[in-house]
């Protein structure tokens, strides 16, 4: 072989290997947010059929869309993917397919956050009309005698921690974007009301729900509080606190109270971290009990709230360190590689509620036996948000 040809071939091989190495390193160094967003988009053409389910206007899929949309500055494809989910349900005349005002289901308010962002970016009137539909629901949402929003019409006189996240950040952003300050007062009242009604003074933790009527089998007949501290319910609530603070005016009289609750609740959560991993259990205060398990969605929500709270100055900087360590342990314990070579988030509770038909007793056995779902949207979404906050 001539020397010049040999050198030419060596250069080509080196260049090819170099390209492969760079591609491999790039893949390994991608953020966890991008890895999970790309995996989601590769596995599913649309969030409308995520995990192979039938199309449904739902809070959790809108939540995942919001998380993926946070990556819009990286690539517009993420925003388009998120937008497609909302556009499937919001029609050109502003009506929302799948939303029934008469249900007074506060879960159905959460997609409004997506609509507010889309209206800000596009100015499309269909989003504004849809937003006003959701506001009209909150204007007439049934309330407890003490003024707390019912979780749903079918759950009269009940406040659930979940519902605070479903409604409050939307109302707070609407108040800011549309100059409707009355909603700031409503939002802070709701967050403080559910805190006081579900608080366990001994631990500082919050029970999943409160029944003002004391009629439900799942509640304490003396206090109306439910029986257990569910990790994801706590996660919904703490995310609501840090997200509402994005919009609540600096001079709002209840802002210090919201930050105080955030600090007290965060300290309570630290006391029930798993000592070995720093993760949190499905039933928060019963780590080590039979069938209880380290749960991904609640853990990711706490990590997100701790990271954001510390970066914003609401929480001590120690929470940023805690968030970083916990996220790394989440990856070690809860993330695996699927058969398709893409990441899978495990250990995520599919759903937990109270009462209803068939009746959910919300006892210990109920919480630890509800089905776990790999890549459940309620786990992937906060995991992406936490990764973005931590630049992981």
Among residues 334, 240, 335, the alpha carbon closest in space to that of 279 is found at: 334
Query: What DSSP designation does 95 have?
Result: -
* Residue 149 pLDDT: 98
As a residue count, the chain comes to 392
- How far lies 229's CA from each of 199, 209, 261, 282, 391, in Å? 10, 9, 17, 8, 30
Domain assignments of the chain as residue spans, ordered by start: 31-390
Active-site hit among 69, 162, 211, 376: 162
* Residue 198 pLDDT: 98
CA quadruple 258, 261, 262, 263: dihedral, nearest 10:
130
* Residue 390 pLDDT: 98
* Residue 20 pLDDT: 39
Average pLDDT per 10 consecutive residues for the chain, totaling 392 residues:
47 42 48 98 98 96 98 96 98 97 98 98 98 98 98 98 98 98 98 98 98 98 98 98 98 98 98 97 97 98 98 98 98 98 98 97 98 98 98 96
* Residue 13 pLDDT: 42
pTM: 0.93
What fold is seen in the domain 31-390? Glycosyltransferase (1.50.10)
* Residue 210 pLDDT: 98
* Residue 28 pLDDT: 59
CB 104 within 8 A of CB 152: yes
Active site residue 60: no
* Residue 339 pLDDT: 97
* Residue 196 pLDDT: 98
**Can you tell me which residue has the tokens 């933790």?**
205
CB 32 within 8 A of CB 392: yes
User: Mind listing the pLDDT tens digit for each residue in 3-37?
Assistant: 444 444 444 444 444 443 333 333 556 899 999 99
């Amino acid at each position: 072989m001539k020397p010049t040809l040999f050198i030419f071939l060596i250069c080509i091989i080196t260049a090819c290997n170099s390209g492969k190495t760079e591609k491999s390193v790039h893949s390994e160094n991608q953020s966890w947010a991008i890895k999970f967003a790309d995996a989601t988009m590769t596995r599913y053409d649309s969030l409308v059929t995520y995990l192979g389910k039938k199309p449904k206007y739902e809070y959790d899929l809108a939540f995942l869309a919001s998380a993926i949309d946070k990556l819009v500055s990286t690539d517009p494809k993420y925003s388009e993917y998120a937008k497609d989910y909302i556009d499937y349900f919001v029609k050109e005349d502003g009506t929302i397919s799948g939303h029934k005002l008469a249900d007074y289901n506060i879960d159905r308010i959460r997609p409004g956050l997506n609509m507010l962002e889309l209206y800000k970016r596009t100015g499309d009137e269909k989003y504004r009309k849809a937003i006003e539909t959701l506001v009209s629901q909150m204007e007439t949402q049934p309330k407890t005698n003490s003024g707390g929003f019912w979780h749903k019409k079918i759950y009269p006189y009940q406040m659930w921690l979940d519902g605070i996240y479903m409604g409050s950040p939307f109302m707070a952003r609407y108040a800011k974007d549309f100059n409707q300050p009355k909603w700031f007062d409503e939002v802070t009242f709701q967050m403080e009301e559910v805190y006081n009604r579900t608080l366990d003074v001994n631990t500082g933790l919050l029970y999943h729900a409160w029944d003002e009527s004391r009629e439900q089998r799942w509640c304490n007949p003396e206090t109306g509080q439910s029986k257990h501290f569910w990790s994801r319910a706590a996660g919904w609530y703490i995310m609501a606190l840090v997200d509402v603070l994005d919009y609540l005016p600096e001079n709002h009289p209840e802002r210090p109270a919201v930050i105080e609750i955030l600090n007290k609740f965060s300290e309570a959560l630290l006391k029930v971290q798993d000592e070995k991993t720093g993760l949190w259990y499905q039933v928060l205060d019963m780590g080590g009990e039979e069938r209880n398990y380290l749960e991904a969605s609640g853990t990711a929500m706490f990590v997100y709230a701790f990271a954001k709270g510390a970066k914003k100055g609401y929480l001590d900087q120690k929470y940023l360190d805690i968030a970083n360590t916990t996220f790394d342990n989440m990856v070690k314990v809860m993330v695996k590689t699927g058969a398709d070579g893409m990441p899978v988030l495990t250990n995520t509770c599919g759903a937990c509620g109270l009462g209803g038909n068939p009746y959910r007793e919300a006892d210990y056995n109920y919480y630890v036996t509800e089905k776990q779902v790999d890549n459940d949207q309620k786990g992937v979404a906060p995991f992406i948000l936490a990764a973005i906050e931590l630049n992981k």
